Structure 1
């Protein structure tokens, strides 16, 4: 910035002893100071310093430029009023207070009347509107621990990131919630959330009425009832389930059968044997003879020589062979044997026995 004014040393030189300042020197002296009437800066006693903006109300009005060095061409920061969205369009100004950087980009804007605040924009559409580049987060909140951690961040790339618990009171709305109630049709999306109604409709249609399931718990879920014979349910209390068999009349829908305990009948017992540890029969023979009755005999001459030791007769002789055949009948012997069977005692208490496999109790419930 170019400053065409005398400095203090130069001005003091105009007023040396016995020197008479010229009109031009007096003019330089006057121009070196600020004039409240002409320079737009006023300090009325009892009031703060007042600064008047430069420019017309229909356009941007500059208030204050802040330089690192007055020799710089442009200020580092500037404060103005009613900045323009388009510098070439006078009617695009936004009424409000604005702080911009050396590039002319607005960094903080407060809109008049509404009080909306814009960060990086002079067109805030809400109480706080933040506009930034894609490379950095728009909003970042860091805790005050010894090792600072970003606990909340908003960026275009990652969206909203929260480190910790997110508590929401009231409704949570989003543009990616689908209003499609048919979750299994071709229009379903992998990018949108299903509504509560859509999920309920899907579940209700996938679990048809009359479906029976096992349930572990005290409270039956909504839309289900206990299978105890009421509410048009089968009474499955204390019962096992048997799968239907199409061609077996015993296993048709609604049939009942079975028992907790059963006693076997004699006909139901498997084939088995009883072990007789042994017994004896005593025989008393008062004397008997063998009467062959109808007994056949055959005597033939063999022509063989005999010795005196064979027939107890001295001297040799000729042998006769006697062949007997036939059956000696038991009633001809005079000996009788009792043939009665052994008497085995019955055992067992004729009591019923457990007829169930190992079990675990659950409740059968049916979908209404």
Structure 2
């Protein structure tokens, strides 16, 4: 493999950063020991710009190209966007209820053997389209409440790998 450019990022399947590389985990590095790297990334990913610079933090993030395409929102280098969890608001999913209806008559068997015995026959169906029969609303506790302003995961499918950045190598020339 050829010598990397300083600040080049690669995906690495190992559990360590090779010599001359570091994990893209947002760590702060002293500028005095990484002047070439600082001249390329500056404080784009953090640091105070006087004594420290920060490496990109790709933990729990997917990389994205900066810029703007037709109909797309502009993204600048180093910008962090998105969240791992989402809490839906009432405006996104208004409060509502679902009614479960059932026949109040006693069952004729406690071990149904086929769909017909569960569904019943004619107007006496347990589950049916005709709601003008003797169906009654079941208890509100039949269906549990959901939501409750609790966050849910909002992650695309993923495979965990390490991103590493070259601290040493060739200084890239501008074309």
Pairwise TM-score range, normalised by the shorter structure: 0.3 to 0.5
Q: Normalising by structure 1, report the TM-score.
A: 0.23
Q: Normalising by structure 2, report the TM-score.
A: 0.45
- Structure ranking higher in strand proportion: 1
Which structure is richer in relative contact order (CA contacts within 8 A, separation 6 or more)?
2
